[in-house]
Chain A
Amino acid sequence: MNIVTYAQVLHDLNVIKDEGHKEVILGLRDYSRFGKLNKTDYLSFSKRARELGLRVIFEWDILMCENDFATLAHELPELLIHADVLRVQDPGALEWGIKNSTLPLQFIAENGNHNLIALKGWCDHANGRMDRIVLSIELPKTIIEEYIKTLNVPCELLGFGRILLFYTPRKLLAPLVEDKYSYHEYIEALGESEESPHKGFPLVENKHGTFMFHIKDFCVLDYAKDLADYGLHSLRIDLRWSDFSLIKDIWNVESLKEKHPQDLMKGFYLVNKTDVLFPKLKNSRLQKREGNYIGEVIEAEKSSHLAIFVKNPKGLKKNDLLKFIHPKGDEIEAQIYSLKNLALEEVDYIPPHTTGIIQFVGGVWVKSHVFYRD
């Protein structure tokens, strides 16, 4: 299995080579979220990497609004001469790469893209030039295995590194700096939620905006053998906020864990159940409004009456047999023996989209749903 990582200082390239790895991701400050290389650095890094026989991946993962995009895309061809692969995240950058470069393309599909139709769509669009697709770390292992075996493009997964939770182009930390007259191109801080138990979110502000990371770093190196067996092409090791020498310990996970100061987690690698709470976000008893549904009780005056707003095209008739479903779930049945309109006239029928007043039915509250009894 291929290992891919980032180089931030020139010496990193030697370490990558010495460890037997064959690729390096270079982040140029203007194009990469956390890239630290200026143009001169990039050219020397690229030259050195190629001398060492490393494949140079140019990272363009900034999401760019049109004005910035137009400016920076214009300058890109001369930079890509010194790269072997273009790696992008924005669909616009992918589109640009297809039209304006002949380099192999890698697409970062880490946000969303939890279905094969989408993943195949990105690969197909690149017309045979998709060199690799970077899968989301929210995918569980069974799905990862399926995707690797189904897609005809090599797949990559983060093996070790920070989990990016939040990315905005706005500068959110600068307003908190005490010296209002100082300029900070780069700020690191820690955030602690006052409203949830989470403490120690790493925060970074740079020229591209503000980023928040999870309090724990991601690590699935314990499962590297499984991933290799599934056929995963590349495992990404992101040590941009760690000691780069840890690259030597990636196959000695216990040693790596000991040396790494941050707690680690495997995220959703074993299972992803991030939709199981959805049914609890609203009262499911009041969601059924099909079929025999008549409408809703909009007033319940004890010992006097119920007012029902009628939504069913059939309307409401005297002697109809009704079933009420209380917001708490209780079901109550009753027959209409008194039916009035809002002018308090006794009527036999209440048309749809109007309100009918019937006798009070014990146990029925406002917001109870009303159905024709089966």
Chain B
Amino acid sequence: MIQRHPEVLAPAGSLDKLKVAVLYGANAVYVGGQKFGLRTAAENFTLDELREGVAFAHERNAQVYVVLNSFLHDKDFQELPEFIKFLEEIKVDAVIVSDLGVVKTVVNLSKIPVHISTQASTLNVEGAKFWKSMGASRVVLGREISIKEAGKIRREAGIEVELFVHGSMCMAYSGHCVISNFTQGRDSNRGGCAHSCRFEYSIDMPDSKERKKAYFMSSKDLEGLRVLPEFINEGIDSLKIEGRMKSHLYAGTMSKVYSEALKYYKDHGDFLSDDLYYWEEELNKVSHRSYTEASLVKKADADSIFNERENSTEAEWQMVGTILEASPKTGIVMEVRNAFNQGDEIEILPFSTRAIKIIANEITDIMMKPIQRTRPSTLVKLPYVAGVERYHLVRQQVKV
């Protein structure tokens, strides 16, 4: 049997994150323009940035999908045709759409491949066949689907399938939660989700005299590393990583771990390796809620609920910066995101090898004045280390 290997599809909330994701190994990225997406609060891409992002990705054999996954109201359609024309002109590889009206508009006006967003909650073969008949080339399946079911949908509907492998999850069927609409006046299906499912609630249960406080609607984060062979065996076309609002470190780490893991499997035909523990450690170095495999193998149960306050578990690692420039002449110039001290051990994360650990003994500002403690939103210089490049991410273990 010839095994197909899925693409790693990473989130890119900004042009910089797109570059990070591609350089760290993502085969494809998904991005949002200034309108029509579901991440209204994200930086998102201007037209110039979209053009540059597509060119950057294509030069490195990566693809760019643009989200148009908002459920549009009639008035929102006015500017859509011009945007579609632009996306076709810059040769985006697909658009990700939830709304039938948007699907029809894209199909009528362009030849851009259409991927049906998870927001449309496609859960079965017949649903996939419906979207195929509307002109879609791929469905991003609902997160309630198991990998085996996804494989069946792919085979029987004859359409590409994409399945989430990592990241935050809606507890509700995507597209079927309107808490924000009715309680905050923000349309969750047009990018205004207020994340009410992450709130704490007091519950009056019928069998209890006391109210129970619980984060009962909050889901743990999805993590599918250990079941990657199942994805491959079922012929899943794309492994999607959630998180356009998340950090550069997240975009880079996820792209690197999942692409390395897939490559290992491709080369060896199994995961029987200490590398699995290394990849899991890497995933744990990025801020996250407790992990769950959710419904990838069996239906998500009570263990998949994250009954804790958001950010209650401090990340053990933090991103301290990104490399702006590195050469023997200039040294390493880093844009600092979180402060670190002279003498601290920091890790520079190369694109395709393991982290380079260095002790930051010599730190100067960019005018070469020695400093003992860095500050966020400043530039610092470190002595040159071979192998360090622009866009490398720098992280540090948080001291307890």
Q: Which residues of A contact B (CB under 8 A)?
A: 63-67, 69-70, 73, 90-96, 99, 111-119, 121-122, 125, 138, 143, 163-179, 187-196, 198, 201, 203, 212, 214, 267, 273-278, 281-282, 287, 289-290, 293, 298-299, 301, 304-305, 307, 309, 311, 341-344, 354-355, 357, 366-367
CA distance A293 to B49 in the complex (A): 11
Task: Give the nearest-CB partner of B218 in chain A.
Answer: A172
User: Do B131 and A91 have beta carbons less than 8 Å apart?
Assistant: yes
User: Do B182 and A163 have beta carbons less than 8 Å apart?
Assistant: yes
Give the residues in chain B near A63, CB-CB below 8 Å. 121, 123, 142, 144, 173, 176
Q: Given A65-B124, A301-B365, are A111 and B181 neighbors across the interface (CB < 8 Å)?
A: no
Residues of B77-105 at the interface with A, using a CB-CB cut-off of 8 Å, are 77, 98-105
Contact of B217 among A90, A117, A166, A267 (CB under 8 A): A166
Give the residues in chain B near A367, CB-CB below 8 Å. 377
Give the residues in chain B near A112, CB-CB below 8 Å. 71, 98-99, 175, 189
0/1 interface trace, chain B 95-123, chain A, CB 8 Å (1 if under): 00011111111000000000000001111
0/1 interface trace, chain B 357-386, chain A, CB 8 Å (1 if under): 000000001111000000001110000000
CA distance A287 to B40 in the complex (A): 12
CA distance A16 to B307 in the complex (A): 44
User: Do A176 and B214 have beta carbons less than 8 Å apart?
Assistant: yes
Q: Given A95-B126, A166-B179, A192-B202, are A117 and B187 neighbors across the interface (CB < 8 Å)?
A: no
- Kindly state whether residue B207 has any CB partner on chain A within 8 Å: yes
User: Do B366 and A281 have beta carbons less than 8 Å apart?
Assistant: no
Contact of B204 among A94, A189, A194, A309 (CB under 8 A): A189
8 of the cross-chain contacts (CB-CB < 8 Å) are A66-B145, A113-B71, A115-B73, A164-B178, A166-B179, A166-B217, A176-B216, A275-B190
CA distance A176 to B202 in the complex (A): 11
Q: Given A165-B178, A167-B172, A189-B204, are A305 and B367 neighbors across the interface (CB < 8 Å)?
A: yes
Task: Give the nearest-CB partner of A172 in chain B.
Answer: B216
Give the residues in chain B near A122, CB-CB below 8 Å. 100
User: Do B100 and A66 have beta carbons less than 8 Å apart?
Assistant: no
Contact of B330 among A276, A290, A307, A343 (CB under 8 A): A343
Task: Give the nearest-CB partner of B197 in chain A.
Answer: A166
User: Do A189 and B192 have beta carbons less than 8 Å apart?
Assistant: no
User: Do B100 and A277 have beta carbons less than 8 Å apart?
Assistant: no
Q: How large is the interface on B (under 10, 10 to 19, 20 to 34, 35 or more residues)?
A: 35 or more
Additional A-B contact list (16), CB under 8 Å, known A170-B305, A281-B41, A299-B366: A65-B123, A91-B120, A92-B127, A93-B126, A111-B71, A112-B71, A116-B101, A176-B212, A178-B207, A189-B203, A190-B204, A274-B185, A281-B40, A281-B192, A289-B48, A299-B379
CA distance A178 to B207 in the complex (A): 7
- Kindly state whether residue B299 has any CB partner on chain A within 8 Å: yes
User: Do B149 and A66 have beta carbons less than 8 Å apart?
Assistant: yes
User: Do A355 and B325 have beta carbons less than 8 Å apart?
Assistant: yes
B235 to A: closest C-beta gap in Å: 15
Task: Give the nearest-CB partner of A109 in chain B.
Answer: B100
Task: Give the nearest-CB partner of A216 in chain B.
Answer: B182
CA distance A74 to B131 in the complex (A): 21
CA distance A80 to B177 in the complex (A): 30
- Kindly state whether residue B125 has any CB partner on chain A within 8 Å: yes
B75 to A: closest C-beta gap in Å: 9
Give the residues in chain A near B48, CB-CB below 8 Å. 289-290, 293
Q: Given A121-B104, A196-B183, A342-B330, are A167 and B177 neighbors across the interface (CB < 8 Å)?
A: yes
CA distance A64 to B149 in the complex (A): 11
CA distance A28 to B36 in the complex (A): 38
CA distance A88 to B374 in the complex (A): 60
User: Do B129 and A172 have beta carbons less than 8 Å apart?
Assistant: no
- Kindly state whether residue B278 has any CB partner on chain A within 8 Å: no
- Kindly state whether residue B191 has any CB partner on chain A within 8 Å: yes
User: Do A176 and B203 have beta carbons less than 8 Å apart?
Assistant: yes
CA distance A64 to B301 in the complex (A): 16
CA distance A174 to B300 in the complex (A): 13
Contact of A114 among B71, B130, B177, B219 (CB under 8 A): B71
User: Do A69 and B124 have beta carbons less than 8 Å apart?
Assistant: yes
0/1 interface trace, chain B 311-336, chain A, CB 8 Å (1 if under): 00000000000001100011001010
CA distance A201 to B214 in the complex (A): 14
User: Do B101 and A92 have beta carbons less than 8 Å apart?
Assistant: no
Task: Give the nearest-CB partner of B132 in chain A.
Answer: A95
Give the residues in chain A near B398, CB-CB below 8 Å. none
Q: Given A94-B130, A122-B100, are A114 and B72 neighbors across the interface (CB < 8 Å)?
A: yes
B80 to A: closest C-beta gap in Å: 10
Q: Which of A64, A112, A293, A355 has the most CB of B within 10 A?
A: A112
Contact of B176 among A114, A167, A176, A195 (CB under 8 A): A167
Contact of B171 among A113, A168, A344 (CB under 8 A): A168
B8 to A: closest C-beta gap in Å: 24
CA distance A344 to B152 in the complex (A): 60
CA distance A301 to B367 in the complex (A): 10
User: Do B302 and A174 have beta carbons less than 8 Å apart?
Assistant: yes
Residues of B193-222 at the interface with A, using a CB-CB cut-off of 8 Å, are 196-197, 199-208, 211-214, 216-217, 219
User: Do A278 and B178 have beta carbons less than 8 Å apart?
Assistant: no
Q: Given A112-B99, A187-B206, are A95 and B191 neighbors across the interface (CB < 8 Å)?
A: no
